[in-house]
C-alpha cells in the first residue's frame, strides 16, 4: 500500500468525533494531472462501525481535487482506501473528542546534556539539533547546572522561533542517589544545596522526622525525605519534577534501591516518571523494567509518564532522538505544557531507528499517538527540520540581520490538519 500523503495534501486529518466532515485531497505537485477514470473509495473505522450508514462516504471530484464526505463516529482511526485498476492507495484520519481536538501534540525532550557536564556540544547546538529532528521543545538538563539551559534560551533570544527552549537541570541532592529533573523551574534547585545549606538540612530533617511513623530506620528514609524536599522546591519554582531513570544499572547494581522506588511511588512526591529513555542498545532491559514496574507500582493511578533521551551528544549515533514525550497541550507555553503533563495528557515514545515506534501511557492517548506517528508527525517533522536548519545557520553566523523572523509554518499546518 502506498501512502497518499506523499502526493496529496489531505486535510483535516484530526476530526471532531461524532460529526460529519469533508476531507480534501489536493495534489501537492502542480504539474501532476490526476488521470480521469474510475476511482473506488471505501472506508473502515478500526474500532467500530455502529451501523452501515456510518461507513458510507460520498466522493466528489473537482479538477484534480477530491472531496470525501462522511460521518466520523467515536474516537478512532478511519482508513480510506482508494483503488484504481491495479493500484491501491490509502490514508487515515482520526476522530477525537473536543478535549483532544483543542490540544496540539507537542514533541519534546526534557532530559539532555551538553559540554557543561558530560555531553559533547554547546547548549545552542543541542537545541538546534533537537529542532532538526522534529521536536517542538527541549530543556537542557546538565548535571548540577542550571545555567546551560538559560544560555540556550539566550542564544536565540533575538530570533522569533516556533521552537521553545525551557529552563532545566538534573538535580543531584547531597547524600541522596536519586537523580531528578527540574523541568521548567524558574530557579535552580542545585544552587540551593550550597546557598541554603542549613535550611536544606533542617527542612529535610523535619520531613524525615515526620516519616518516622511510617518508614523504619533505613537509609531510604533520608533519601525519601531529601527527594520530597527537592520535588516540593521544583513546584515552588513552578517547574515539573521528574523521577529519572529508576532502573539505571551501574556497577553496584540499580542506582536506587527498589525500596526507595516503592516509597517514591507510594508517596508520589514527583510529578512525572521517566518511562523510557536514556538507555543504549545493551541496556534496553532497563526500559523493560521501568514499564513493568510503572504499571505494577502506579496501581491504576494515572501517574504522568515521559520519554527522554538523556543523550550526551547529538551526533554519536546513539540515544539522541530515540525517545521523546508527546504532550497534548492547548499551547506551547511552559505553563500549559506543565499543566497538561500534570493532568496526564502525555505519552512516552520510544523511536529507536529501524524499529517500529512504541508508545506508553494511557490506551486512549497511545492509540492516537500511533496514528500521529504514522500520519501527522512525518509532515510536522519536515517543517521543524527547516527551522532547525535556520537555527543552525544562525549559529554559524550565516543569517543576515533582516531575517530573524522565521516563517510560522506550523501554525498554518495545525490550522489545516486539525478540524476547526
- Site for Zn ion, rule CB under 5 A: 170, 179, 244, 310
Answer for the pair 274, 307: CB distance below 8 angstroms, yes or no.
yes
The distance of closest approach from Cβ of residue 113 to Zn ion in the complex, given in angstroms and rounded to an integer, is 6
CA distance 261 to 38: 62
- Closest among 225, 329, 204 to 267, alpha carbons compared: 225
Which conformational region is residue 192 in: left (phi greater than 0), alpha (psi within -120 to 50 degrees), or beta? alpha
Q: Which is nearer to Zn ion, 151 or 375 (CB)?
A: 151
Residue of closest CB approach to Zn ion? 179
Q: Minimum distance between the CB of residue 139 and Zn ion, rounded to whole angstroms?
A: 11
Of the two residues 80 and 244, which places its CB atom closer to Zn ion in the complex? 244
Distance CA 269, CA 225 (A): 10
What is the distance between the alpha carbons of residues 58 and 41, in angstroms, rounded to a whole number?
9
Tell me the closest approach of the beta carbon of residue 319 to Zn ion, in angstroms. Answer: 10
Quickly list DSSP for 348-377: EEE--TTS--EEES-HHHHHHHHHHHHHTH
- In the complex with Zn ion, the residue whose CB is nearer, 168 or 344, is 168
Q: Which is nearer to Zn ion, 114 or 128 (CB)?
A: 114
Tell me whether residue 269 or residue 344 sits nearer to Zn ion (CB atom): 269
Beta strand 87-96 with 305-308: parallel, antiparallel or unpaired? Answer: unpaired
Residue closer to Zn ion, measured from CB, 15 or 126: 126
Smallest gap from Cβ 23 to Zn ion, in A, equals 43
Place of cell 521543524: 384
Locate cell 492507495: which residue? 89
Phi, psi of 337 (to 5 degrees): -60, -45
The least distance separating Zn ion from the CB of residue 179, rounded to whole angstroms, comes to 4
Owner of C-alpha cell 473528542: 97
Residue 170 beta carbon to Zn ion: minimum distance, rounded to whole angstroms: 5
Query: Of 131 and 312, which has the nearer Cβ to Zn ion?
Result: 312
CB atoms within 10 A of CB 35: 8
Give me the least distance between CB of 167 and Zn ion, in Å please. 16
Amino acid at each position: 500500500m502506498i501512502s497518499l500523503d506523499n502526493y496529496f495534501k489531505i486535510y483535516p486529518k484530526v476530526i471532531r468525533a461524532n460529526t460529519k466532515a469533508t476531507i480534501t485531497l489536493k495534489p501537492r505537485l502542480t504539474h501532476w494531472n490526476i488521470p480521469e477514470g474510475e476511482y473506488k473509495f471505501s472506508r473502515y473505522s478500526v474500532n467500530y462501525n455502529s451501523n452501515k450508514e456510518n461507513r458510507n462516504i460520498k466522493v466528489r471530484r473537482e479538477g484534480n481535487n477530491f472531496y470525501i464526505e462522511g460521518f466520523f463516529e467515536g474516537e478512532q482511526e478511519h482508513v480510506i482506501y482508494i483503488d484504481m485498476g491495479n493500484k491501491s492507495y490509502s490514508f487515515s484520519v482520526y476522530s477525537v473528542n473536543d478535549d483532544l481536538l483543542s490540544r496540539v501534540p507537542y514533541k519534546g525532550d526534557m532530559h539532555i546534556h551538553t559540554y557543561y557536564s558530560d555531553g559533547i556540544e554547546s547548549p545552542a547546538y543541542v537545541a538546534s539539533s533537537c529542532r532538526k529532528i522534529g521536536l517542538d521543545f527541549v530543556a537542557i538538563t546538565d548535571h548540577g547546572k542550571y545555567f546551560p539551559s538559560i544560555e540556550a534560551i539566550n542564544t536565540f533570544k533575538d530570533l522569533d522561533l516556533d521552537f521553545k527552549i525551557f529552563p532545566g537541570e538534573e538535580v543531584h541532592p547531597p547524600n541522596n542517589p536519586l537523580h531528578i529533573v527540574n523541568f521548567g523551574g524558574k530557579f535552580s534547585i542545585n544552587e540551593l544545596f550550597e546557598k541554603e545549606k542549613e535550611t536544606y538540612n533542617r527542612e529535610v530533617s523535619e520531613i524525615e522526622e515526620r516519616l518516622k511513623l511510617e518508614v523504619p530506620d533505613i537509609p531510604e528514609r533520608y533519601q525519601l525525605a531529601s527527594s520530597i524536599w527537592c520535588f516540593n522546591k521544583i513546584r515552588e519554582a513552578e517547574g515539573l519534577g521528574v523521577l529519572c531513570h529508576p532502573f539505571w544499572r551501574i556497577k553496584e547494581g540499580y542506582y536506587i534501591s527498589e525500596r526507595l522506588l516503592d516509597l517514591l511511588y507510594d508517596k508520589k512526591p514527583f510529578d512525572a516518571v521517566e518511562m523510557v529513555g536514556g538507555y543504549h542498545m545493551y541496556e534496553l532491559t532497563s526500559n523493560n523494567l521501568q514499564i513493568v514496574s510503572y504499571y505494577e507500582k502506579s496501581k491504576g493511578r494515572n501517574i504522568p509518564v515521559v520519554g527522554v533521551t538523556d543523550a550526551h551528544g547529538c551526533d554519536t549515533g546513539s540515544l539522541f532522538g530515540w525517545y521523546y514525550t508527546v504532550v497534548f497541550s492547548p499551547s506551547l507555553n511552559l505553563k500549559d505544557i506543565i499543566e497538561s503533563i500534570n493532568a496526564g495528557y502525555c505519552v512516552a515514545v520510544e523511536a529507536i531507528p529501524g524499529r517500529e515506534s512504541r508508545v506508553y501511557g494511557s490506551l486512549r492517548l497511545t492509540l492516537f499517538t500511533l496514528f500521529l506517528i504514522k500520519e501527522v508527525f512525518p509532515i510536522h517533522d519536515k517543517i521543524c527540520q527547516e527551522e532547525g536548519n535556520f537555527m543552525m545557520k544562525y549559529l554559524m553566523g550565516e543569517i543576515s540581520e533582516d531575517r530573524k523572523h522565521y516563517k510560522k509554518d506550523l501554525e498554518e499546518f495545525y490550522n489545516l490538519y486539525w478540524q476547526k
